[in-house]
A and B are shown apart, each in its own frame.
Chain A
Amino acid sequence: MALDQSFVGRTYPPTAPYEVGREKIREFAEAVGDANPAYTDRDAAAALGHADVIAPPTFVFAITFKAAREVVQDPQLGLDYSRVVHGDQKFAYRRPVRAGDRLTVTSTIEAIKSMAGNDILDVRGEVHDEAGEHVVTAWTKLVARAAEEA
């Protein structure tokens, strides 16, 4: 069943702040095998002009995706979340995420489409820091695959 188009343009309230920790950044950098010292060494980060260690570019997805999940699990939307796969992901950075940031995400449903029985949902997450400054925008395309015929 096609999703309700009236959800297009709907913006959800900002999430509670997520505090970015140095050790969480280190853990993420180690998990992707990235030894860039900007992620773990404050002096190295400072030499590049950053106020503290910064996070790898895709780190912020953990925060925006959690926010997007709350949106797509809105029972009124009626998306079958068990059939959702990640289609596209894009980020536009105003500045890198860094340790000490307290980030909130404001999610908006940008588009809803149905193609060949698949429901396709575009969610934009605007990430702001505690001072209200924009840090990064994340665009996530989620595809709920058509249910197979029984």
Chain B
Amino acid sequence: MLLLIPLAGYLRRVRVYEAFVEGAAEGFQTAVRIMPFLVAMLVAVGVFRASGALEDCVALLKPLLAFIGVPPELVPLAVMRPLSGTGALGLTTELLASEGPDSLIGRTASTILGSTDTTFYILTVYFGAAGIRNPRYAVFVGLTGDITGFFMSIYICKLLFGP
């Protein structure tokens, strides 16, 4: 894409350098605009994590989810995924190392990481850039996607890779 776009542009007689700089200038303004939104969200998530509340939520959810057939190893990942991208990446790396990348847990964790996204981060960054303070029902919509993705990953991986 990095080669194709400028090349195609040049062939279609676009002033590629000037067009690039013009577009890039917008990027800078946007980055500055999202900062307050990002600080607000990351601080709240950071406090929730540092206090141990997140960990204990996970501990609380484990037996509940184990009851319906969810492997307890995957619960922390499910809770972390919408809140923190780097956190989820770290948890998956740990799971791949401890369980093995080709185990059922390893494959399921990979699928969860690959098919869902950090909802709160995207919400903060996108809506922050447009200056939107009231996201209405978007949080629910995003979380529905995450929850569906989590349960579907477990189901499909069991189907494809299970014993």
* B and A form one assembly: no
- Residues on B facing A (Cβ under 8 Å): none
